[in-house]
């Protein structure tokens, strides 16, 4: 087997010719470099147990034990991204990046497909490197040197109107709302210098970014909406990943957004997610 890296349309790279549970140090170095270069890597036809998944993720850093997602019954390191045939709403069903509500946002996540619907359930990804590069000069000037406030409370918190209290995913699949209420809201640069690649990336997202620092939500909305609209419309830097048995995606939370499509009503979709700790962003 020869490790081969093939760019995917829009963002990311597919890596073939490897077995992620039996990587040589050289293969791991190549995978790590591909992850740093592209922010999104895919593998196909991987036959992995939960322990293999954990061992692969641990090569990138410490595992974050998710505070809000239901955990795997035997492996607390694995967060369940689950939807059963009787459920209506999914988890992650809108553009977002994970953990921007933390002071040290997660490096990324490794998502393994365990049980897939017959059709549907693809995941969309967007490159925040290209999002930044393709902003026009006026927008780049408007966000130069600015910071933004992020929060998880309106998504995971206790209020009746939080995202998950409005969703049937909040009835058992997502929980621990009291912990969300204790989170202080971090401030991160709107444009970060990526810790692995040194490249600039746009670092705001529609799920967790609430305002520019020093402004109300209302004051922030016109400029923030322009940034979000730029990414929503940026199909040239999106990719759509079609899951198959044995597929794995690993994304960088600092340089990509993702969106789990919810177009498979009445079917089961079970994914195992491991998230890796990150660092403060500058
Ligand atoms: C997530 O947002 O972490 C879930 C992605 C997916 O289920 O495709």
Candidate from 271, 272, 275 with most ligand 1 atoms within 8 A of CB, to mutate: 271
- DSSP secondary structure letters along 7-54: EPSSS-EEEES--TTS--HHHHHHHHHHHHHHSEEEE-S----HHHHH
Residue nearest to atom 2 of ligand 1 (CA): 92
Per-residue CA distances from 270 to 14, 151, 221, 245, 247 (Å): 22, 27, 35, 11, 12
CA–CA separation, 3 and 18 (whole Å): 6
SS3 call for 16: strand
Asked if residue 252 lies in contact with residue 108, where contact means CB atoms within 8 angstroms, the answer is yes
pLDDT tens digits for range 118-142: 999 999 999 999 999 999 999 999 9
Specify the fold of 4-276. Answer: Double-stranded beta-helix (3.60.130)
Domain boundaries, the chain: 4-276
CA–CA separation, 91 and 184 (whole Å): 23
pLDDT tens digits for range 238-275: 999 999 999 999 999 999 999 999 999 999 999 999 99
Phi, psi of 271, deg, nearest 5: -125, 145
Residue nearest to atom 6 of ligand 1 (CA): 260
pLDDT tens digits for range 38-64: 999 999 999 999 999 999 999 999 999
CA–CA separation, 179 and 93 (whole Å): 22
Atom of ligand 1 minimally distant from the CA of 241: 8
Phi, psi of 58, deg, nearest 5: -65, -20
Residue nearest to atom 4 of ligand 1 (CA): 92
Ligand 1: residues within 6 Å at CB?
Answer: 81, 91-92, 98, 111, 123, 258, 260, 271, 273
Atom of ligand 1 minimally distant from the CA of 122: 8
């Amino acid at each position: 087997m020869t490790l081969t890296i093939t760019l995917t349309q829009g963002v990311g790279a597919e890596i073939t010719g490897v077995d992620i549970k039996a990587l040589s140090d050289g293969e791991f170095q190549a995978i790590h470099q591909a992850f740093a270069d592209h922010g999104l890597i895919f593998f196909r036809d991987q036959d992995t147990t939960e322990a293999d998944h954990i061992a692969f993720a641990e090569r990138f850093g410490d595992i974050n034990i998710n505070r809000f997602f239901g955990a795997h019954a035997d492996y607390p390191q694995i967060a369940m991204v689950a939807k059963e045939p009787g459920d209506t709403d999914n988890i992650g069903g809108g553009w977002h990046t994970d953990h921007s509500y933390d002071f040290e946002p997660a490096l990324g996540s490794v998502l393994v497909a365990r049980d897939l619907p017959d059709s549907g359930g693809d995941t969309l990804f967007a490159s925040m490197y290209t999002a930044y590069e393709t902003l026009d000069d006026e927008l780049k000037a408007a966000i130069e040197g600015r910071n933004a406030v992020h929060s998880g409370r309106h998504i995971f918190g206790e209020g009746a109107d939080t995202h998950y209290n409005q969703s049937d995913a909040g009835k058992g699949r997502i929980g621990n709302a009291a912990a969300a209420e204790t989170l202080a809201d971090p401030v991160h640069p709107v444009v970060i210098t990526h810790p692995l690649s040194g490249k600039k990336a746009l670092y705001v997202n529609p799920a967790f970014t609430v305002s520019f620092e020093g402004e109300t939500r209302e004051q922030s909305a016109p400029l923030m909406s322009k940034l979000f609209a730029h990414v929503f419309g940026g199909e040239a830097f999106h990719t759509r990943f079609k899951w198959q048995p044995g597929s794995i995606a690993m994304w960088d939370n600092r340089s990509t957004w993702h969106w789990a499509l919810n177009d498979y009503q009445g079917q089961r979709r079970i994914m195992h997610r491991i998230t890796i700790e990150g660092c403060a962003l500058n």
